[in-house]
Structure 1
């Protein structure tokens, strides 16, 4: 009876708190997907290398700033961070997040060149550097704000911050790339000026924030993880580039792809963040503890709603953007909940066993889950797209 009452409370929280943030994240992700769908053909023809890098960029934002949100949440609960944006640790973490983002991006571009990026190679490098600096600054402070604001209102940041941070990252990533592409093609002088300005701001922030070497070394574990995962995301990028024609032909998925990936990552990140906090507070004693599985069951009950919304919002965006009328993807609505369930179980398992190995889940589990969710989500999207266009 006590377990049922606890489950009821968790389901209520899932619907009143987490589902709201998931839906907001979904809408935000579809807004970013609108730009991808509208300019998908242009990217394929003029900047195909971006398709190889894109999943890594999207995943990297979620990895770096999703980890920051989880780290802020743990620090707030332990009293190591004042619930204020004026706390010096906020600026330092934002700058560290920016630094952590740039090196893997350069490595992604290098691997992309090795894999065959030949068209507009140097221009793509400038576009991704400028985009990374601009988006990281915005996303860093958004991460701090949403985590602190949620905490001060008495809600659990782990239930809200990760989905919103990941989706805002998706929202900013694709439009920023498109904006720099259009700026390059229509106003090259302004494009170069913007690049110089953003690099100058980056150097100035490093000096102003007084980031110390020991603080950078303190995130060595996270840096090594996200760098490895960024390179691993080449799998997603190569799949996206190789099957881009199939995804574009499915229509809905060319718009919903970012939202689909971010929704899987959101479910995984929420479970990872909740698990990390409970483990640090000593609330999970063994793998088959009741508490974390109640969290998973409660969130699973929200997945049919998200699956249906991806369908119909994708239809709406395709109609408004390309004036294309198509049918809902029934197979997506039916299979989406079970794919999300798999990712949540995977997320909990990874978080639990990393913690038992004395590895902080905030620094490793969330980036790993976000990256793996992108790979699983890309494979899932390709299979759904092939089913729609008759490829399987």
Structure 2
């Protein structure tokens, strides 16, 4: 194969994914841009956003990789039926996502307090991180299982789908979940 044909093949297969990811990033940015009132009301929330989104990609990207490897090894079947390995992987991802989200909220509070920056009460940040983590986790679990299983069934290597799917879905559902969690916190706390 020539270099030109390799480059053309790469662009042909990657361009749709890159465009979808760019659109997803813009949508997540639009959600963040529409959160002016929430960002002003919950000081420190903007500092927590990058960590919250990074956690989504790390935890659920890892789930997708584990599922993909299990499919390749024949440890699980691409069917939407309860399977101990699948259930255990999903529960572990949800718990890891929640613990990491709460840790991000605690670190946000601690760092902003130490540097003397105004910050919302710890209970508010933890509540937002927890509720946002639950909402995003449920959505992302569904997305990654569907993408990996459907891709595998169609003869597409799920490893090629996990990264772009998690980048896009993680940003969109992560920001939407933070927005909803913040609205709930503002009405309850």
**What TM-score do you get using the length of structure 2 for normalisation?**
0.85
Q: CA deviation at 1:33?
A: 1.0
State the partner residue of 2:75.
80
Distance across 1 between alignment mates of 2:49 and 2:107: 13
Q: CA deviation at 1:96?
A: 0.8
Looking at structure 2, the residues matched to 85 and 22 of structure 1 have their Cα atoms a distance apart, in angstroms, of 28
> Which residue in the other structure is 1:56 paired with?
51
Task: Show CA shifts across 1:15-44 (max 9, x none).
Answer: 3433212211221221111111122x4344
2:90 matched to 1:101? no
**Inter-partner Cα distance in structure 2 for 1:25 and 1:108:** 25
Structural mapping, 1:138-217, within 5 Å: 138-185=139-186, 187-188=187-188
Of residues 105-114 and 41-50 in structure 1, the stretch that sits farther from structure 2 once superposed is 41-50
Q: Give distance in 2, aligned partners of 1:177 and 1:76.
A: 32
Give the corresponding residue for 2:116. none
**Greater relative contact order, per chain length (Cα 8 Å cut-off, separation 6+):** 2
Contact 1:29 1:168 in 2 (8 A): no
Q: Could you report, residue by residue, the CA deviation over 1:84-143 in whole angstroms, capped at 9, with x for unpaired residues? A: 222512222111101111222222222222212532432221111011012111111211
* CA radius of gyration, larger in: 1
Question: Closer, same or farther in 2 for the Cα pair 1:95/1:166, shift >3 Å?
Answer: same
Counterpart position of 1:28: 24
Are the equivalent residues in 1 in contact too, given 2:28–2:172 (CA < 8 A)? Answer: yes
SS in 2 for 1:86: coil
Q: CA RMSD in A?
A: 2.1
What is the total number of aligned residue pairs between the two structures? 183
TM-score (norm 1): 0.43
Report the 3-state secondary structure (helix = DSSP H, G, I; strand = E; otherwise coil) of the residue aligned with 1:116: helix
**Aligned partners of 2:25 and 2:171 also within 8 Å:** yes
